[in-house]
Structure 1
Amino acid sequence: MSDAFDILIVGGGMVGASLAAAFVGSPWRVGVLEARPYGAPDQPSYDERSIALAYGSRRILEALGVWLGLVVEAAPITRIHVSDRGYFGAARVAAREQGVAALGYVAPNRAVGAALMPLLEHAANIELIAPATVESTSDEGETVKVCARTPDGARELRTRLLVAADGANSPVREALALPTQVERYGQCAVIANVSVDAPRAGTAYERFTDSGPLALLPLGGARYSLVWTQREDAVDAVMALDDARFLAALQDRFGWRLGRFVAVGKRADYPLVLVRARTAWHGRTALVGNALHSLHPVAGQGFNLALRDIAALVEALRGAADPGAPEGLQRYQALREPDMARVVGFTDFLARVFARDLPLLGHARAGGLLLADWSPALNRWLARQNMGLFGRPTRLASGQEAAWPHN
């Protein structure tokens, strides 16, 4: 094994692995450093939780050659229903009115990993290095030196471009001391799979409550993926409820649009924090995914935004002789900034405005939902936002393969 790479990706979860998939067949040697062994039960990117994939993300995954590997387990979203508990009015978005078969899909994280891994394992220009942790990095001008710890001991790597895909608490970003906006929402997300006795095929729900948004995403049949926002001071009590009381509390908050909640699977919770790096690159290092922006889960934009990071970075590096040269990374920043600012602002606005339980504000929100439902222009804007169709065009986002010019 050579220790010299053109591109070294730190983080081999869904974001890092998707980026590596985009470089399959490129003229560059690519390494992927991942802290946990692939296939390990504690590998968080590939567990039984589910991910919302926007229509635009499907096109990127098709271009990467992984969509066919997960489509069997991807449940389509054909309608989105948005409501505000305690107030009249709702906004509805339908795939048929937008001229598409589905607005998006819901797929198990496990299925995404199962589609990505064979592609990477058989790629001649990709090396998977796992388990491995980064101990230090240093920019040496023409390359970045990365000292990694593996089960076989220390390994010193050099790369022309280092990519941080190592999550919201990115050690690579922290080592660079990049200016980063960090704001706690004072909320936690409770996630679980639930079953109902009157499912509505293909309909996803976003319901705003006094504790925060509650999302139910269709998994097929009577099963839904639940993301239920709770205040930090209340989450322990909610997690301590037995299944019957948990389902009763969920019923009270959501209502009866899906009939009765009859079962809940394993529950987990995590704190909600807005993290946004002020720049997408520094020196010979680029940031993607949660290392660049970690969002509130309202509207399910996180992984979809990360896939557009990948599409933009690939676009910016096409034809480059040196993948770590500043010209390409400046192009990446320019491609990402408008879309990233819009999505971060949109999700932050929803999380804050819909969490405040003030009567006048509640009536204003209800009016906004009614307007979004009745106005064709606003309804189309809301649909395109949820479908991930904003942002500057790139080959991958248009569903085209990267088609590396050096091949």
Structure 2
Amino acid sequence: MTAPETDLIIAGGGLAGATLALALARTVPELRVTVVETFPLSPDALPEDYQPSYDARSTALSWGSRLIFEELGLWPALSEHATPIRHIHVSDRGHFGATRLHAEDHHQQALGYVADNRWMGLCLMRALLDTGVQWQAPAEVMDMTPTPDGVEVLIRKDGQEQRVSGQCLVVADGGRSGLREQLGFVTRTENYGQNALIANVSTSDSHQFTAYERFTGDGPMALLPHGSPRRPENQSALVWTLTDEALAEVLELSDEQKCRRLQERFGWRLGRFTRIGQCSHYPLKLTTVDEAVRPGVALVGNAAHALHPVAGQGFNLALRGLMTLVEQFRRAVDEGRSIGELSVLGEYQRRHRRDWQQTVQFSDSLIRIFGQSLLPVATARDAGLVGLDLVPGAKRWFARKAMGIGSRKPVVPSVSTTAGEDSRHDQ
């Protein structure tokens, strides 16, 4: 019997794949981990000083995600360029309904954070340099074959193909690579008939660390505080939901015209829109996989579920799933079992399923409720928003959803003791 060349192969070294690799290095150091990434990666390419770009794309991190990164010892670095969300304002354009959440009401420093994707990637790469995680990049996982001892993965690198054996393959390369379908996983996709336009914008008034979720007749619109983590500035990250027709029309406008159109849809809560940066867009779909595991293979992140960005839950859900998988790998190693056993991966799926079902239902219901323009429905939802402000229990439930707080126990308790040491980053 030939010994496997590695224990775990991670297909994809983006935010999900890199976080999983770091969590395993911290929590299950006995495992040999190999990450296969299509983009070139080199320690020499990591800049010593990070200079944020105006057009940098960002991710909303819940308070629960902060706690996870604290467990991994990564938060002190991440927090250097993570803008806190201290207030959330939810409103229904043209109607009276609105609700407001404040971090201080929940005795927290913030409800969440907004961090540039590139900065998060740099922090992960720097942390991984000090681990035993192996990288193959640029390279791509082409196929996988089950074996009696686990899996054999076909990797293409520098135009050459090689086969690497291991106990398990984790697919973490998103929902567009095709590897998921190539391996035979069946997805369910529901097209919302909408697109997300992403850009950074500047306004005449400061955001005051407030995130705005504005529901309009054309779809939801979110503005998240962006820029300095220490002082409120005038830059926000925009997620603008548009139909195909409206998107095509907006893309034809000049920047000044885009700002005026945005002003019409959002209003004046942040003063005048003075600048809009480079715009990118993608179609919005709800994609789920009923069975995200099989012997020797597990899907994580967007490869397992892709959500509407309305509530900013996508990466936070993925992060919780990654830590659930790490917990099962830790247990399997302690019990002397292969991490690729179906019982191990099946337990990960069972534990994570309830979380993703509730999160999908939460996000999807917001789209359906606020997508209705009928007067009785509009009146009922506005009454609901007002009710959130008036009923403490309901508001607390909504806040916990937004903050991503659950009952998951820390995976790395020895690292989590650093949490109190970095509170200065939120001041």
Shorter-normalised TM range = over 0.9
Matched, 1:77 2:90: no
Task: Sort the Cα spacing of 1:20 and 1:376 in 2 relative to 1 into closer, same or farther, 3 A.
Answer: same
Partners of 1:132 and 1:148 within 8 A in 2: yes
What secondary structure is seen at the aligned counterpart in 1 of 2:347?
Answer: helix
Q: Give the drift of 1:318.
A: 1.4
> In structure 2, what is the Cα distance between the partners aligned to 1:114 and 1:326?
34
- 2:122 aligns with 114
> In structure 2, what is the Cα distance between the partners aligned to 1:383 and 1:217?
16
Query: Could you tell which deviates more after superposition, 315-324 or 187-196?
Result: 315-324
> In structure 2, what is the Cα distance between the partners aligned to 1:97 and 1:79?
10
What secondary structure is seen at the aligned counterpart in 1 of 2:405?
Answer: coil
Which amino acid is the alignment partner of residue 322 of structure 2? I
> In structure 2, what is the Cα distance between the partners aligned to 1:18 and 1:62?
12
Partners of 1:59 and 1:399 within 8 A in 2: no
Matched, 1:376 2:392: yes
> In structure 2, what is the Cα distance between the partners aligned to 1:183 and 1:399?
42
What secondary structure is seen at the aligned counterpart in 2 of 1:233?
Answer: helix
- 2:153 aligns with 146
| TM-score normalised according to structure 2 size | 0.89
Which amino acid is the alignment partner of residue 252 of structure 1? E
- 2:289 aligns with 277
Q: Give the drift of 1:279.
A: 1.8
Matched, 1:164 2:171: yes
What secondary structure is seen at the aligned counterpart in 2 of 1:199?
Answer: coil
What secondary structure is seen at the aligned counterpart in 1 of 2:153?
Answer: strand
Which amino acid is the alignment partner of residue 22 of structure 1? A
> In structure 2, what is the Cα distance between the partners aligned to 1:282 and 1:68?
37
> In structure 1, what is the Cα distance between the partners aligned to 2:123 and 2:77?
5
Partners of 1:132 and 1:150 within 8 A in 2: yes
- 1:14 aligns with 15
Which amino acid is the alignment partner of residue 409 of structure 2? T
Q: Give the drift of 1:302.
A: 0.5
Which amino acid is the alignment partner of residue 374 of structure 1? L
Which amino acid is the alignment partner of residue 380 of structure 1? R
- 1:5 aligns with 6
Residue pairs, 1:209-288, within 5 angstroms: 209-220=216-227, 221-288=233-300
Q: Give the drift of 1:351.
A: 1.5
> In structure 2, what is the Cα distance between the partners aligned to 1:399 and 1:317?
18
Task: Sort the Cα spacing of 1:276 and 1:399 in 2 relative to 1 into closer, same or farther, 3 A.
Answer: farther
Query: Percent of counterpart pairs with the same letter?
Result: 44
Partners of 1:315 and 1:394 within 8 A in 2: no
Deviations 1:276-332 (A, max 9, x none): 000231111111100111000011001100110111001112131321122221221
Partners of 1:56 and 1:397 within 8 A in 2: no
Query: Could you tell which deviates more after superposition, 268-277 or 317-326?
Result: 317-326
Q: Which runs of 5+ in 2 are unaligned?
A: 47-52, 228-232, 418-427
- 1:325 aligns with 341
> In structure 2, what is the Cα distance between the partners aligned to 1:175 and 1:271?
22
What secondary structure is seen at the aligned counterpart in 2 of 1:331?
Answer: helix
Q: Which runs of 5+ in 1 are unaligned?
A: 403-407
Matched, 1:90 2:105: no
Q: Give the drift of 1:398.
A: 7.8
Matched, 1:67 2:75: yes
Which amino acid is the alignment partner of residue 357 of structure 2? A
- How many residue pairs match? The answer is 395
- 2:230 aligns with none
Partners of 2:64 and 2:403 within 8 A in 1: yes
State the Cα RMSD in Å. Answer: 2.1
Q: Give the drift of 1:399.
A: 9.0
What secondary structure is seen at the aligned counterpart in 1 of 2:368?
Answer: helix
Partners of 1:62 and 1:399 within 8 A in 2: no
- 1:405 aligns with none
> In structure 2, what is the Cα distance between the partners aligned to 1:197 and 1:53?
26
> In structure 2, what is the Cα distance between the partners aligned to 1:364 and 1:323?
49
Partners of 2:91 and 2:97 within 8 A in 1: yes
| TM-score normalised according to structure 1 size | 0.93
> In structure 2, what is the Cα distance between the partners aligned to 1:129 and 1:326?
26
- 2:185 aligns with 178
Partners of 1:7 and 1:163 within 8 A in 2: yes
> In structure 1, what is the Cα distance between the partners aligned to 2:389 and 2:415?
33
Which amino acid is the alignment partner of residue 318 of structure 1? R
> In structure 2, what is the Cα distance between the partners aligned to 1:158 and 1:353?
48
Task: Sort the Cα spacing of 1:79 and 1:396 in 2 relative to 1 into closer, same or farther, 3 A.
Answer: farther
Query: Could you tell which deviates more after superposition, 98-107 or 173-182?
Result: 173-182
Deviations 1:140-174 (A, max 9, x none): 23221111111162121111011010111353321
Partners of 2:72 and 2:412 within 8 A in 1: no
Q: Give the drift of 1:23.
A: 1.0
